[in-house]
Structure 1
Amino acid sequence: MENDSIVLYPSQGRGHLFVTIELGNRLLAQYPSFSIHIIISTAPSQVPVSATELSAAVTGPSISFHHLPPTSLSKTYTPQQAPDLSYDLAELSNPKLHESLLKISETSVVKALIIDFFNTSAFQVSSQLEIPTYFFFTSGAGALAVFLYFPTIHEHARKSLKDLDGYQIEVPGLPPVPSIAMPVAMLDRTTEVYHCFMKTALQFTKCDGIILNSFELLEKRMIDSILNRDCTPGMKTPPLYCIGPVITNGDSVPPRRHECLTWLDSQPSRSVVFLCFGSTGVFSSKQLNEIAVALETSNVRFLWVVRKPPQSDQDPTLKSFLPHGFVSRTNDRGVIVDNWAPQVEVLSHDSVGAFVTHCGWNSILEAVRAGVPMLAWPLYAEQKLNRVFLVEEMKVALWVAESDKDGLVSASELEKRLTELLDSEKGREVRKRVEIMRDGAIAAMREGESSTVALKKLILSLKQEHRRELCCDSK
């Protein structure tokens, strides 16, 4: 007898991949009869994730991985063109995706294809094969509301958002969003990637369901706005399944306990500021110096994950990028970690009292789940949107302001925000708020509570034998 399979198709990028694997783990925990197949595409310039890392992220025996053959791209991409790369890679991978789905269907019934935001072109394949298709939106409800409302924003703005200085975008259920906080790909309506985003926003309304990595208490007003169809005027809103927080144990498994955790063991409760900016966050030497000065003059305890500046011809050691003598002057109260730290474990440690973050959604959920207040310092993608929601709506973070001239965060600005978060009434209010959200995150995952109920509803939908309608139907 053929078994039922669910196929997950994340976009390229470690953060997207590992949270998708955890989604597979969650599905199997609730319904072990499924077989989960995860299809992985890798850009030519990307280092593939090792089999060891993949197997370490899997908690059950019924998850298998299918690697699409390498795809040749006709052009090169700058780091700022990561969305362009993701869309192009997905489009070019469609023939191999089609083959993979047919191969899987030889031994099982493919009940659904669950795709990432950037893999919208996969609808061309799933429509041909009449496979129900769901989106797994790996950011929050606030960002989802913006994307769903994007066609309306496009219509109202009449011109590119980059040309509307000071323009405030009003999205139902959200605080006002400055146009400059929108993702770069959505700022210029003359670009191809802008229209890819527009196509994706419209495709959201035609899918069989949206799986959201969030929970009701954290983003209630935003979720209600989506459910009330306020963000999709005149269009269908598919079922929404808020199953979060979906948190991984990290995208790497060290052979032993990381030494930074041993150092944290010796620090007072809630005394350490943790600075970490995601798997691809890098700064210039000038910005690293500003951070170092702020950490030294503020006299805080800190654990700082540092990556070397790109394209630097300096000495490759970390010390060469920091002020002379900084490490020796602060070694009694601070630790610098090269490139990577076990973020989930660090945030969960009793000694950590604040988190300076790039506002990636995975990092936000990890901090909320640990009850750690944040300083919001976005770098790319939808992170500036997330900062607006973190500070203005959720109230679990304080705003770190960049210079309008060069985007630099000054040492004085960072020092001021650190002091405010750690030692002011406003900072204490943020801490109280994030602790409420921590308790809400824990509660949402209990049996009979919101996220568990949503996951069970999703599984019931995935188990259905008959397709309701084609996702790409234009009606």
Structure 2
Amino acid sequence: METEIDQLHVFFHFVPFLSQLIEGAKVLGAQIDILTIRFPASEVGPPSLHMADTPEMQQRLAVSSGLNLISFQRRPDVLVANMFFPWPTDVAAAYRIPCLFLHGMSCFALCASTCLNMYKPHNKVSSDLEHFVIPNLPDEIEFTRSRVPEFEKRDDGSELEKFFKATKEVELKSYGVLVNSFYELEPAYADHYSKVLGRKAWHVGPLFLYDKGFDSSEHECFWWLDSRKPNLVIYVSFGTVVNFNDEQLTEIAAGREASKKQFIWVVKKEKKEGVKEEWLREGFEDRMEGKGLIIRG
């Protein structure tokens, strides 16, 4: 059973972090406040969220928490939800609040993912390495089945397939999406997503904080970038969801070296003290010194 101390443990570590950001935003003229909602974990079953190990339990837990919306002193104008939470549309509909999903990816990625899911061209090739063109895109984008995400290829009734199917279905029922991009970066795909694929989208990016706090010092990557000439550094990152094995990381590293271009590479793999990183070729970091910066974690 979750105790009051356990709940406060989360509250007092997380809220001050938000408070600092919000106070800074207020200085710039934004009107933002924090409203905390009691999390009814013990009432709906599991002692804490990480114990909700099935989609059904997560749905029950989330909707029960969402019912606290009725206690708001000020009625919300909109509910913004993470793309991986399929339950908010039901909560928003119950209180007649528009629901928007926030995507961390670009309009290009959204268009490609949508068309892969709609037309399933990867099911029409004979091998994982045979090339196919993703239909209904502004450009001719070639792909292979080996590069298609596992959840897009699943057709086995697994929990993973059910989960991602649910996220796509509820997005269609939502009021629209917020995209972590800006129109001028990819106008063809921004227009394609809304005018051809018929999805409502608002471009609110880039949503990356230059400074994590008003008192924080610059990260080493900014020092590194400041020492380079403009427009010559490639940024490589595959987000927080994608996981690569050592063989794939080795290939990416080889590609970065062969390109002879300066780069910043964000790797979702922490370096452990005293443990040799098998995915990095011998002497890679020495050869890339001054040419590339690897950010781990």
- Same fold, TM exceeding 0.5? yes
CA contact (8 A) 2:235 2:264 kept: yes
SS in 2 for 1:242: strand
Question: Corresponding residue for 2:99?
Answer: 133
SS in 2 for 1:210: strand
Q: Counterparts of 1:189 and 1:110 in 2: how far apart (Å)?
A: 38
* 2:296 counterpart of 1:339: yes
Q: Counterparts of 1:200 and 1:217 in 2: how far apart (Å)?
A: 28
CA contact (8 A) 1:57 1:249 kept: no
User: TM-score, normalising length from structure 2?
Assistant: 0.64
Question: Corresponding residue for 1:55?
Answer: 19
Please, which of 48, 65, 70 is the counterpart of residue 102 of structure 1?
Answer: 70
* 2:36 counterpart of 1:71: no
Q: In the superposition, relative to structure 1, how do residues 189 and 272 fare at CA in structure 2: closer, same or farther (>3 Å)?
A: closer
Question: Corresponding residue for 1:204?
Answer: 171
CA contact (8 A) 1:260 1:335 kept: no
Q: In the superposition, relative to structure 1, how do residues 259 and 219 fare at CA in structure 2: closer, same or farther (>3 Å)?
A: closer
Q: CA deviation at 1:146?
A: 4.8
Please, which of 229, 245, 255 is the counterpart of residue 216 of structure 2?
Answer: 255
Q: CA deviation at 1:249?
A: 0.7
More contact order relative to length (CA 8 Å, sep ≥ 6):
1
Q: Which amino acid aligns with 1:54?
A: L
Q: In the superposition, relative to structure 1, how do residues 91 and 321 fare at CA in structure 2: closer, same or farther (>3 Å)?
A: same
CA contact (8 A) 2:100 2:178 kept: yes
What are the within-5 Å matches in structure 2 for residues 56-455 of structure 1?
A: 56-58=20-22, 59-60=25-26, 62-64=32-34, 66=36, 68=39, 69=41, 70-73=48-51, 75=53, 89=58, 92-99=61-68, 101-104=69-72, 107-146=73-112, 152-153=118-119, 165=128, 166=130, 167-171=132-136, 173=138, 175-176=140-141, 178=143, 180=145, 181-190=147-156, 191-228=158-195, 230-231=196-197, 237=198, 240-249=200-209, 252-253=212-213, 255-268=216-229, 278-279=239-240, 308=269, 315-316=274-275, 322=280, 331=289, 333-334=290-291, 339=296
1:318-371 Cα offsets, whole Å, 9 max, x none, are 7x975555555665x35755536xxxxxxxxxxxxxxxxxxxxxxxxxxxxxxx
CA contact (8 A) 2:83 2:102 kept: yes
User: TM-score, normalising length from structure 1?
Assistant: 0.44
CA contact (8 A) 2:100 2:177 kept: yes
Q: CA deviation at 1:119?
A: 2.0
Q: CA deviation at 1:108?
A: 0.8
SS in 2 for 1:315: coil
1:86-131 Cα offsets, whole Å, 9 max, x none, are x9745542211222x1222xx1122222223222222222222232
Unaligned 5+ runs, structure 2: 1-11, 42-47
Q: Which amino acid aligns with 1:119?
A: F
Q: In the superposition, relative to structure 1, how do residues 221 and 256 fare at CA in structure 2: closer, same or farther (>3 Å)?
A: closer
What are the within-5 Å matches in structure 2 for residues 32-51 of structure 1?
A: 50-51=14-15
Q: Counterparts of 1:169 and 1:297 in 2: how far apart (Å)?
A: 28
Q: Counterparts of 1:140 and 1:200 in 2: how far apart (Å)?
A: 17
Q: In the superposition, relative to structure 1, how do residues 149 and 197 fare at CA in structure 2: closer, same or farther (>3 Å)?
A: farther
CA contact (8 A) 1:304 1:336 kept: yes
Question: Corresponding residue for 1:35?
Answer: none
Q: Counterparts of 1:152 and 1:275 in 2: how far apart (Å)?
A: 28
Q: Counterparts of 2:118 and 2:253 in 1: how far apart (Å)?
A: 43
Q: Counterparts of 2:192 and 2:264 in 1: how far apart (Å)?
A: 38
Question: Corresponding residue for 2:7?
Answer: none
SS in 2 for 1:134: strand
Q: In the superposition, relative to structure 1, how do residues 175 and 299 fare at CA in structure 2: closer, same or farther (>3 Å)?
A: closer
Unaligned 5+ runs, structure 1: 1-47, 76-83, 232-236, 341-475
CA contact (8 A) 1:169 1:179 kept: no
Q: Which amino acid aligns with 1:339?
A: R
Q: Matched residues, percent identical?
A: 20
CA contact (8 A) 1:135 1:204 kept: yes
Q: In the superposition, relative to structure 1, how do residues 90 and 339 fare at CA in structure 2: closer, same or farther (>3 Å)?
A: farther
SS in 2 for 1:98: helix
Q: Which amino acid aligns with 2:168?
A: A
Q: Counterparts of 1:206 and 1:280 in 2: how far apart (Å)?
A: 24
